[in-house]
């Protein structure tokens, strides 16, 4: 529904917005599931530890999910 509303309003950069929200949700869930263990979370997500660390920094999640 949120995507439909954004499209109707003509919002720009919809893909970037929703991709960031999706990544944020997945990362937080993986960190929660692994008790904050980033290597295990990265493995669950199918990405490298360095990639996970970079995404955590980009999304401002440094102090969340652990």
What stretches of the chain adopt beta strand conformation (E)?
none
What pLDDT was estimated at residue 7?
Answer: 86
φ and ψ at residue 61, rounded to 5 degrees: -105, 15
* 66: CB partners within 8 A, 6+ apart: 31, 35, 36
pLDDT tens-place string over residues 13-44: 888 989 999 999 999 999 999 999 999 999 99
Confidence check: pLDDT of 66 > 80: no
Instruction: Measure Cα distances from 50 to 9, 27, 39, 43, 57 in Å.
Output: 37, 13, 9, 11, 11
At 37-64, the pLDDT tens digits run 999 999 999 999 999 999 999 999 998 7
Residue boundaries of the structural domains of the chain: 16-66
Asked if the model's pLDDT at residue 1 lies above 90, the reply is no
């Amino acid at each position: 529904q949120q995507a439909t509303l954004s499209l109707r309003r003509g919002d720009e950069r919809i893909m970037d917005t929703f991709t960031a929200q999706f990544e944020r949700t997945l990362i937080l869930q993986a960190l929660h599931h692994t008790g904050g263990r980033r290597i295990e979370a990265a493995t669950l997500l199918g990405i490298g530890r360095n990639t996970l660390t970079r995404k955590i920094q980009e999304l401002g999640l440094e102090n969340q999910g652990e």
